[in-house]
Amino acid sequence: MLRIAICDDHKKTMEYVKNTIYHILRKRDQETEIDTYIGGASLWEAMNGNQHYDILFLDLYMPDMSGLDLGNKMCRMNPETLIIILSNREEYVFETFKMKPFRFIRKQKFQEEIEEVLLEAIEEIGDQNQPLWIQSGTVNYCLYIKKILWIESHDKQIEIVYPHEKTVFRYKISDMERELEDKGFVKIHRSILVNVRHIQSIHRNEILMDNGQIFLIARKQLEKVRTQMQDYIKWDMTL
């Protein structure tokens, strides 16, 4: 059972989104339960009552509780929930990094983009707990992609950094970059790969991770980091 929540302050918008999602998933025989919430406060109340959702479609601009505030709270409470932003407010895109949205959909492009985004979300839910196996010498290492904060190269070894532990083994950072190129990691300079899921904010040439670690982005990597992040969250920042 796939559990989805839609939060918006416009009832007609929510019904339209709900009906479109049902139509897409019905064609694929996907069992789904969808709840709708008028405004952020009602969803937050439900979450405090132990409701859990696999996917949340969230409007950013709501009068009772902004989508930015709600998304940040949701990220802390249920980090496994995939947040998909529904908004025409492109100016807020960088402010949403803290909530780690899975995707953005501009409301005027909803009909064009929803099916692809929805199917990507379902695939992510299925894959997010699947490990990546890396062989170093005669040893196989199991890496849980979503939980990795960053990967750092030291001499001929790499250090896999998780929130509460580290794994170190012999491997080339260039080979690891190739393994992770389509899995939400960006290279900020020649010795560090960071997990986009754990970036809290970007300011000028600094990245703040959600554990408080700050990294400088190499000057020659700035444009590449921006492009890779843009590709990952599927949002055209130039519009």
- Decide if pLDDT at 168 tops 90: yes
Residues 144 and 91 in one domain: no
Residue 104 lies inside a defined structural domain of this protein:
yes
Does 238 map to a domain? no
210-235 pLDDT, tens digit each: 889 999 999 888 888 877 776 666 54
Q: Are residues 212 and 113 in the same domain?
A: no
The pTM (predicted TM-score) of the whole model is: 0.67
- The reply to whether 27 and 112 lie within a common domain is yes
Tell me, yes or no, whether 239 lies in a domain.
Answer: no
Does 113 lie in the same domain as 84? yes
Residue 144 maps to which CATH number? 2.40.50.1020
Phi first, then psi: give them for residue 62, nearest 5 degrees: -135, 140
Q: Residue 10: helix, strand or coil by DSSP?
A: coil
Residue 123 sits in the same domain as residue 156: no
Judgement on whether residues 162 and 225 belong to the same structural domain of the protein: yes
- Treating both helix axes as pointing N-terminal to C-terminal, what angle do 11-26 and 110-127 enclose, rounded to 10 degrees? 60
Residue for token pair 């069992």: 31
Question: Tell me: the pLDDT tens digits for 140-167?
Answer: 998 888 889 999 998 889 999 998 899 9
Number of domains in the chain: 2
Do 119 and 39 share a structural domain?
yes
